[in-house]
Structure 1
Amino acid sequence: MKHFFTLFFLIAAVLPVSAQQTQKPVIHGKNWIAITGKPLAATAGAMTFQKGGNAVDAACTMLAATCTMWDVLSWGGETQALIYNPKTKKVIAINALGVAPTGATPEFFKSKGYNFPPENGPLAATTPGTPGGLMHMLANYGTLSLEQVLAPAMEMAAGYPMEAQTANSIERNKELIKQWPYSKKVFLTHPGEEREAPEAGEIFVQQDLLNTLTKLVEAERAALKKGKSRKEAIMAAYDRFYKGDIAKEFVRGSKEQGGLITMKDLANWKPLEEEPLVANYKGIDVYKLQQWTQGPVMLQALNILENFDLKKMGYNSSRYIHTLYQSMNLAFADRDFYYGDPYFAPAEPMKGLLSDAYAKQRAALIQYDKNNPQVGPGDPYPFEGKKNPYLKLLKERGYEIDTTKRNFAPTHDIRNGSSMTEYQDRLWRGTTTIEATDKEGWVVSITPSGGWIPATIAGNTGIGMSQRMQSFVLDPALNPFNVVEPGKRPRVTLTPSMALKDGKPYLSFAVQGGDTQDQNLLQFFLNVVEFNMTVQQAAEAANFNTNQLWLSLGGTQTADRQPKPGHILLHDSTPENVREELKKLGYTLSFDDRTSGPINAIYFDWEHGSFWGGSSNHGEDYGIGW
């Protein structure tokens, strides 16, 4: 057996990357494809297609199912989506991220000894966004009723066999869960026993959640009975969630446990439709959500990388890894300082950040002989014809914006904080993904998250509250655009992706994994475009991660979040010569057999009139096609 693996490795080493075997097969489909984070949830999507639903219906069904299965999210979290509408031939952006509640101010959190809002508990919660996002997408772009779309989730809430991953997560987090009475009631099905969490395969019942979902369906039915349209009936369910008895119990349960969310906070919130941001890479238009996410990081990196011949460098050569690492560092430095909620002042300089001229200036900063641990945010304002109002603040932070000099990191950026194990956990935290398409041409890419275990459940709603407040900053010196404020959205890591070529869908793709999301999606995209991999090969391919960025999740102190310059996570399969060359460039190396969260993707084969689905070999993500 040992000789077989040695032989296999030698064969694999000489095969071109586009010829590598994969551990999971490509998902081929002619009519539809449904992919998400859990096999049962993918089955729910397939069931929706078989009912005659379109890709939006199926995506909403999978979203409801994954929330009910606590697939690193729940119903109280947030939903971010891109939808390709074949009727208008346009990509639509859906912003269903919750907002900071009444009383959530820097002074409030600082009074409790925090440098960032907390990562767990009721004070970590923004308003729920996923229910509103789901109902908005379904009402405007789906074809089925809310009752039809929620049917699989409701059946699951009545009792489904829990998988080991979720069951073990509950057991690991049970001491935190015990702090919150409603969470304890739902999650710890064997109180007082050695193992208090459910066992793998145990039928897990969520009666409170089932009651909540039933109320939504009842509201829809009542509206239809009164002669309301399909859309009006779905929005009647929406109103019951955000303004009716569900909202009242949610707020009561939150306040009982120390939360800040009010009825007015829920009633004032609404999902938003937006124009996505776009960058063109070698004739391919890549779409991302706006700067309230980290999505533009990938667009900035692609603009920088167009100045280099990546294919000539070779897949995961030391030169290739170094160039991507440096490009990502430059983009993340800008993300960490300039991204925030575009609906609040000040206005983010996105035109400058995404300009080709700015990308060329940033690309010129890359040093070929070593890692630059001192890279900081650039100055995009001149590329908008404006003067940077934050030069003084950047200087106080320790950054030198003068392009004739090298940027350098402030002293607090280069101290060691938490351990690498804790850092990596925070780097990878949260999220699932949903990908769907159909023969009519609808395409949906969603990266929902929030309310993951150990979630604080709000009263008797069965709904886990979001933990997204932790992505705000309290100190404007870190990011003047992302300081917490009531009604404001935090800058999140959640980042679905879509690409069009010749005006037609080319790729739809997303990944889980906190701050690594756009790192891994960038590499996935380049694997397909530059190295001719299939979506399955690209989803399984060895990636690397930079740690030279400010963490968006985890820890309430500055030391928990600060960058680790030069630290790089490489795949175990990285050849020895590449390792040695990277060490000479000044990198600190770590290794793992898992260097990317689960990537899910769909490729559109216009030559043959079919779809190719890819679903990573990490985690429990699963796809079905027909």
Structure 2
Amino acid sequence: MRIILTILICFFLSEAAISQKTEKPPLHGRHWMAITGKPLAATAGSMIFQQGGNAVDAACGMLAATCTMWDVLSWGGETQALIYNPNTGKVIGINALGVAPTGATPEYYKEKGMDFPPEFGPLAAVTPGTPGGLFTMLAEYGTMSLADVLAPAIEMAEGYPIEAQTANSIERSKDRIREWKYSRDVFLVHQGEEREAPHAGEIFRQADLHATLLKLVEAEKKALEGGKSRKEAIYAAYDRFYRGDIAEEIVRGTREGGGLFTMEDLDKWQVYIEEPVSTNYKGIDVYKLTSWVQGPVLLQALNMLENIDVKEMGYNSTRYLHTLYQVMNLAFADRDFYYGDPYFPPEEPMEGLLSKDYARERVKLINPDKNEEEVMPGDPYKYQEGENPFRNYLEKWYDKSAALFEPAQIPDAEHEASFTAGTTTIQAADAEGWVVSVTPSGGWVPAYIAGKTGVGLSQRMQSFVLDASENPYNVLEPGKRPRATLTPSLALKDGKPFLSFAVQGGDIQDQVLLQFFLNVVEFGMTVQEATEAANIISFQMRNSFGDHSPKPGSVQMRNDMPPWVLDELREMGYRIDLRKHTSGPINAIYFDTENKTFWGGSSNYGEDYGIGW
């Protein structure tokens, strides 16, 4: 009888998942789709498309707009992207993450009494990456001029009606913003009044940023007048930002506040065009950027789940949620120990980590009856050539991290805010076949603005570790990229685009993207249904921000979860925090190959918005 009841519950849960209503309608388009973190920025993307640009042009236009709007990032942050090129049938990775500057060493921060680099200020900053990423994507794969692509952002820098979300974020952060001269002058437009931040709907002007963007367009114009090609002219703007007068002011303004940037740091930094990593899940090829971000954890999780009939378990049943939580814990434990900058030794064991055989062994560790709090990284070197050079650290890893554990607590507001810090998403596609998935981040409010440039600096330095025993692949070193949480996603089916998807929110990103993907592939949801669907967020992995502490057994769930599921999970050792929303916000595009159209999805949580045609 109990077996029959379980089957019926799973059936009805699955049927409910497939037939659920959505708060926002799905987007439909035949010619193009533009989705991002703010309505005005999505409009900027649509403007680029209407002028004849391709998906790369539109993505760059949306990137510029979101940076100008401080949509949980700024112009001094970092950009990472996956691009599907229909001319080659290949997926391309864009690595535009900044690096630690000269003098940024573990010893430097330890001498200041820090266990990790700080969360805010000039000492939290890696070199700017977003401008270089934008210039490179546009020059190599776009069709339009920089002037045309930046036009919406330039107009917005001159003045745009600021939305409540960002305005209120400024107000909440005003005490810290007051510490930094140039940030104070930009953000606190009503200094001395009760509310010092802009009001929602007020015209927010950024004169310094406006001047900086005009300088970039000026550099392009002069290069074109000098007979340079479109691509060469865009790279002339790149040079002015990283080697010219803009770079000089960024360095001066950063060092004025105690930062470490040098002109050589900006000059030597470069964007990498990379081959992404991938796995095949039931005939679908899923692509992620490699170990300098956390993206491969989704691939590791899919490799493990391929050995389990998750559809039979039923959407958001107790067994399903417990299995997801355990699989994510195993994948993220590997992230916390093995991921780092692949351009610096030691070489990350990515072949072993993404091995199907490794996944089969890892999934055997799942206890079907309770949550395992002492989750350890595995040893992927058994599944590739070479010996594990850090077995000594691995054996002591849990003992090292145990001091950070607070198993009796659900994350407080401060821990949760850092756990979900930063980032926006950009999804763009066109009828020609170009697809772009971007998760830009860094320089979120409260940002340190570098001098008179209007450029808010990244806070990504905090994702480094200072002690090799915590993660020997991600130890701070000048010129090195920190292992970031940022994680765009692309999936192909039969060699053609199937899904483009991404989400903001620090360490939650690949957790909710995994569930989104399964919602579409296993439970037959539309992309809009999948973006709004109830899911879970684990806090058991190490936080990539702040003090890097984990909260074993802590799970955030939506408050409409069935009470019997909550009771059963509590009996299995979970500490549950109920919320109205847990899903994102996720943005996604599904490619309807039969009708040759796009389905767009944009979460009902947050201000994310899309436009299709």
**TM-score normalized by the length of structure 1:** 0.95
Mapping for residues 349-368 of structure 1, pairs under 5 Å: 349-368=349-368
State the alpha-carbon separation in 2 of the partners of residues 124 and 562 from structure 1.
Answer: 18
Instruction: Give the CA RMSD over aligned residues.
Output: 1.3
Distance 1:193 1:410, change over 3 A: closer
State the alpha-carbon separation in 2 of the partners of residues 398 and 207 from structure 1.
Answer: 50
Mapping for residues 395-544 of structure 1, pairs under 5 Å: 395-398=395-398, 410-413=402-405, 420-544=412-536
Q: Identity of counterpart residues, as a percentage?
A: 67
1:580 is aligned, of 548, 555, 567, to 567
Contact 2:14 2:315 survives alignment (8 Å): no
Aligned equivalent of 2:187: 187
Aligned equivalent of 2:3: none
Aligned equivalent of 1:220: 220
Mapping for residues 326-405 of structure 1, pairs under 5 Å: 326-398=326-398
Aligned equivalent of 2:144: 144
CA offsets, 1:5-46, max 9 Å, x none? xxxxxxx97953111110001100000000000000000000
Q: Please report how far the alpha carbon of residue 410 of structure 1 lies from its aligned counterpart in structure 2 after TM superposition.
A: 3.7
Q: Please report how far the alpha carbon of residue 385 of structure 1 lies from its aligned counterpart in structure 2 after TM superposition.
A: 3.2
State the alpha-carbon separation in 2 of the partners of residues 445 and 45 from structure 1.
Answer: 13
Q: Please report how far the alpha carbon of residue 578 of structure 1 lies from its aligned counterpart in structure 2 after TM superposition.
A: 0.3
State the alpha-carbon separation in 2 of the partners of residues 91 and 368 from structure 1.
Answer: 37
CA offsets, 1:147-168, max 9 Å, x none? 0000000000000000000000
CA offsets, 1:164-210, max 9 Å, x none? 00000000000100000000000011110000000000001101000
What amino acid does structure 2 have at the position aligned with 1:562?
A: S
Mapping for residues 220-299 of structure 1, pairs under 5 Å: 220-299=220-299
Distance 1:304 1:59, change over 3 A: same
CA offsets, 1:393-439, max 9 Å, x none? 1223346xxxxxxxx97454456789522221111111000000000
CA offsets, 1:38-76, max 9 Å, x none? 000000000000000000000000000000000000000
Contact 1:301 1:328 survives alignment (8 Å): yes
Aligned equivalent of 2:604: 617
What amino acid does structure 1 have at the position aligned with 2:379?
A: D
Contact 2:66 2:73 survives alignment (8 Å): yes
State the alpha-carbon separation in 1 of the partners of residues 336 and 263 from structure 2.
Answer: 32
Contact 2:77 2:458 survives alignment (8 Å): yes
State the alpha-carbon separation in 2 of the partners of residues 474 and 151 from structure 1.
Answer: 42
Distance 1:216 1:532, change over 3 A: same
What amino acid does structure 2 have at the position aligned with 1:465?
A: L
State the alpha-carbon separation in 2 of the partners of residues 44 and 159 from structure 1.
Answer: 15
Does residue 608 of the first structure (1) align with residue 595 of the second (2)?
Answer: yes
Aligned equivalent of 1:28: 28
State the alpha-carbon separation in 1 of the partners of residues 272 and 527 from structure 2.
Answer: 31
What amino acid does structure 1 have at the position aligned with 2:445?
A: I
Q: Please report how far the alpha carbon of residue 304 of structure 1 lies from its aligned counterpart in structure 2 after TM superposition.
A: 0.5
State the alpha-carbon separation in 2 of the partners of residues 398 and 174 from structure 1.
Answer: 39
Task: Specify the SS of the correspondent of 2:511.
Answer: helix
Task: In structure 2, list runs of 5 or more residues that go unmatched.
Answer: 1-11
Task: Specify the SS of the correspondent of 1:88.
Answer: coil
Contact 1:376 1:409 survives alignment (8 Å): no
Q: Please report how far the alpha carbon of residue 129 of structure 1 lies from its aligned counterpart in structure 2 after TM superposition.
A: 0.2
State the alpha-carbon separation in 2 of the partners of residues 409 and 487 from structure 1.
Answer: 27
Q: Please report how far the alpha carbon of residue 586 of structure 1 lies from its aligned counterpart in structure 2 after TM superposition.
A: 1.1
What amino acid does structure 2 have at the position aligned with 1:50?
A: Q
Contact 2:102 2:479 survives alignment (8 Å): yes
Aligned equivalent of 1:108: 108
Mapping for residues 31-46 of structure 1, pairs under 5 Å: 31-46=31-46
What amino acid does structure 2 have at the position aligned with 1:587?
A: Y
Q: Please report how far the alpha carbon of residue 386 of structure 1 lies from its aligned counterpart in structure 2 after TM superposition.
A: 2.4
Query: Which moved further from structure 2: 30-39 or 592-601?
Result: 592-601
CA offsets, 1:291-334, max 9 Å, x none? 00000000000000001000000000000000010000000000
Contact 1:431 1:448 survives alignment (8 Å): yes
State the alpha-carbon separation in 2 of the partners of residues 515 and 445 from structure 1.
Answer: 18
Contact 1:289 1:296 survives alignment (8 Å): yes
Contact 2:411 2:551 survives alignment (8 Å): no
Aligned equivalent of 1:6: none
Aligned equivalent of 1:598: 585
Q: Please report how far the alpha carbon of residue 525 of structure 1 lies from its aligned counterpart in structure 2 after TM superposition.
A: 0.2
State the alpha-carbon separation in 2 of the partners of residues 89 and 586 from structure 1.
Answer: 46
Task: Specify the SS of the correspondent of 2:116.
Answer: coil
Q: Which runs of 4+ in 1 moved over 4 A?
A: 12-15, 414-419
Task: In structure 1, list runs of 5 or more residues that go unmatched.
Answer: 1-11, 400-407, 555-559
Mapping for residues 546-585 of structure 1, pairs under 5 Å: 546-554=538-546, 560-585=547-572
Task: Specify the SS of the correspondent of 1:505.
Answer: strand
Q: Please report how far the alpha carbon of residue 563 of structure 1 lies from its aligned counterpart in structure 2 after TM superposition.
A: 1.3
Task: Specify the SS of the correspondent of 1:480.
Answer: coil
State the alpha-carbon separation in 2 of the partners of residues 196 and 327 from structure 1.
Answer: 46
CA offsets, 1:476-526, max 9 Å, x none? 111000000000000000000000000000000000010000000000000
State the alpha-carbon separation in 2 of the partners of residues 516 and 166 from structure 1.
Answer: 21
What amino acid does structure 2 have at the position aligned with 1:459?
A: G
